Amino acid sequence: MDKILRINVGADGGPEFKTETLGDYAGLGGRGLTSAIVSKEVPPSCHPLGEDNKLIIAPGLLSGSAAAMSGRISVGCKSPLTGGIKEANSGGQPSQMLGRLGYAAIVLEGQPKTDSLCKVFINKDGVKITEDNSLCMLGNYAVVDKMKAEYGEKIGVISIGPAGEQKLAGASIAFSDMELRPTRHAGRGGVGAVMGSKGIKVIVVDDAGCSVRSPAKPDDFKAANKEFVAGLRKHPVSGEGLPAYGTNVLTNVINEAGAYPTNNFQTGQFAGCEKISGETQAETENARGGEGSATHGCHRGCVIRCSGTYYDKDGNYLTKQPEYETVWAHGGNCGIDDLDAIAQLDRLDDDFGLDTIEMGATIAVAMEAGIAEFGDAEAAIKLVKEVGAGTPLGKILGSGAAVAGKVLGVERIPVVKGQAMPAYDPRGIMGIGVTYATSTMGADHTAGYAVGSNIMGIGGKTDALSPVGQAELSKNLQIATAAIDSTGMCLFIAFPLLDQPETFQALIDIINGFSGASLTADDVTELGKSILKNEREFNAAAGMTNKADRLPDYFKKEKLAPHNITFQVSDEELDQVHNY
């Protein structure tokens, strides 16, 4: 991966492209690369849908190699949802394919001069950009079908649905999976709207004729990869719980903890949770059968296989196995306890190109406003269809929870920096609340692996039972985060890494075996810090002060049942998180 593909969509006569070497960006991948390009090349004060914003699609450093779990891809830009920097990542096949084609990143820049839509085709022979208005307002499934008909079945597809074309702030970018379905999404922050603003509907990737990327030290790489895979397989989370039940295994547990946001964060336990739990979901999928039903990977080379395939009651494919956050957002958070309805909502989100967390949170806000009753699955489905159809109400809902709440006059809007909170109530698990508040990305459950726990210690809440000091803990978490972010590896390798030192070492050895470098854990930590520093500086220049690092006020005032607690971390403590 030694080149960047830049597509200037605003060129005279239509989009034009060039490839260039990595230059100053050499050695970066995934989030490290997207955030570096945004920080360096995007004016922080620009409009997210304007000509100065850029959309960067970057495979991880190890994507395209034989390293297990290395198929994640990052998408970066200035976010139309948060107004700050954004990195959203996804599984699927395109990351590995772009890696094999040698592209470290695709950068979409400029502003189209017409309203036409374009498709981009990339293979070993080069790049072709074609105007194709027949794709206008097509859902992601239909787009993939058209691309299959045109380019064959051995492609990867990166696309936006009607939400992205409408430039809605809840719009995602879809990445096709192993079955060539648009089920994997860079969901958060409205990245799909930025792709829509560039007039690019779809990027088709074909890596035919390309080889798996070769490691610099093949024997070292192979041995480390073997050790790494063994570590993932022996850990109870990555080797047992996730394959059996998927991420939705968390539903019963978070609910039992009283931290399961229910009916728009009104309470911490959902009476219908067992009906939508991961265990029930897996039993349903197993009973209905079908290929890849309850245990399936989201990309080739995945050994955890936390995904699955959801078939309807008649055995017809409906969608991929909805993840925990999706089941929560469209389920408990809306008072809905019907797995089939939730799967249908997931399918609609994927097809329209919408972030499932943002949409579920937005519908819950709409329910609180009286647009529909909590628990009314039919109404929820109808509301998502409004977004796909581009009705006035749909445009409001597709713009996310913050906008919808403001329009509908709702006070309880669970967002930070304009982005909806995921499936953990910050009053129940305050450490995650610290992450929601202080993440550069807005409320994000995946961003906090490197920050947060130290502040809990400063606040006097450090658990004396913890066997590791907070400073050491924070350091370990930062190492894990930086390693994952720079490699494009799936986040779920984090806990085997933390629990099993030999597995962490194996990851370092994979990186070194592949690149020929001699990175140490400290080097990786420094990389993680530099990424966060870049992102913080961008947000500050975009106008975000420490006042943006706060939860909505009601979390400090409204007690959450069953524990009857409020969010208790002070503003002063939050301001210490990024004090490094």
Partner 1 sequence: MKNQRVGRLNLKVAGDKIHFFFSLLRQGFMVEAPVGCSVKTMLNNTLGMDDNYVEDRIKTIFLDAKPVDDIKTACINDGSVLALSGAMPGLAGATLRRGGQLASFRGSISCRSGGKNALSQEGHVVVKLFNLLVNDLGRIFLKQGILIKKKQLEDFFGSRTADFWPSLKSEYLDSHKINLDTWSEIKFPDLLLLVAEPGEES
DSSP 518: -
Min dist. Cβ of residue 303 to partner 1 (A): 14
Min dist. Cβ of residue 306 to partner 1 (A): 8
**Closer residue to partner 1 (CB): 159 or 481:** 481
**Closer residue to partner 1 (CB): 520 or 568:** 568
CA distance 422 to 436: 9
Min dist. Cβ of residue 119 to partner 1 (A): 36
Question: What's the one-letter identity of residue 275?
Answer: K
| Residues in CB range of 102: below 8 A, 6 or more apart | 1, 2, 3, 210
Min dist. Cβ of residue 277 to partner 1 (A): 7
Min dist. Cβ of residue 515 to partner 1 (A): 28
**Closer residue to partner 1 (CB): 201 or 235:** 235
**Cis preceding linkage at 562, omega within 30:** yes
CA distance 389 to 429: 38
- Which residues of this chain interact with partner 1, rule CB under 8 A? 235-238, 240-242, 244-245, 247, 249-250, 252-254, 256-259, 269, 274-275, 277-280, 283, 287, 306, 324, 424, 428-432, 435, 445-446, 448-449, 452-453, 456-457, 461-463, 465-468, 470, 473, 476, 491-492, 495, 498, 562-563, 565, 568
**Segment 491-497 long-range contacts (CB within 8 Å, at least 24 positions apart):** 491/72, 491/446, 491/449, 492/237, 492/238, 492/242, 492/304, 492/306, 493/69, 493/232, 493/238, 493/304, 494/449, 495/235, 495/237, 495/238, 496/231, 496/232, 496/235, 496/237, 496/238
Min dist. Cβ of residue 75 to partner 1 (A): 21
Beta strands 103-109; 3-8: pairing state: parallel
CA distance 527 to 25: 13
Return the sign of the alpha-carbon dihedral for residues 410, 415, 419, 420: negative
Q: Are 144 and 154 in contact (CB under 8 A)?
A: no
**Closer residue to partner 1 (CB): 262 or 476:** 476
**Closer residue to partner 1 (CB): 37 or 482:** 482
Q: Are 503 and 228 in contact (CB under 8 A)?
A: yes
Min dist. Cβ of residue 245 to partner 1 (A): 6
Min dist. Cβ of residue 252 to partner 1 (A): 5
Helix ranges restricted to H, 207-333: 218-234, 236, 242-245, 250-256, 278-288, 324-330
CA distance 99 to 105: 9
**Closer residue to partner 1 (CB): 143 or 250:** 250
Q: Are 466 and 488 in contact (CB under 8 A)?
A: no
**Closer residue to partner 1 (CB): 39 or 255:** 255
**Closer residue to partner 1 (CB): 99 or 426:** 426
Min dist. Cβ of residue 343 to partner 1 (A): 16
Give the closest residue to 335 by CA, choosing from 264, 392, 284. Answer: 264
Min dist. Cβ of residue 364 to partner 1 (A): 19
- For 476, the 3-state DSSP assignment is helix
**Closer residue to partner 1 (CB): 435 or 478:** 435
**Closer residue to partner 1 (CB): 53 or 439:** 439
Min dist. Cβ of residue 345 to partner 1 (A): 21
Q: Are 303 and 296 in contact (CB under 8 A)?
A: no
| Residues in CB range of 443: below 8 A, 6 or more apart | 414, 415, 416, 417, 419, 420, 421, 422, 436
CA distance 437 to 547: 10
| Residues in CB range of 159: below 8 A, 6 or more apart | 140, 143, 144, 147, 173, 174, 182, 201, 202, 203, 353
**Closer residue to partner 1 (CB): 27 or 239:** 239
Assigned token pair, 229: 């895979």
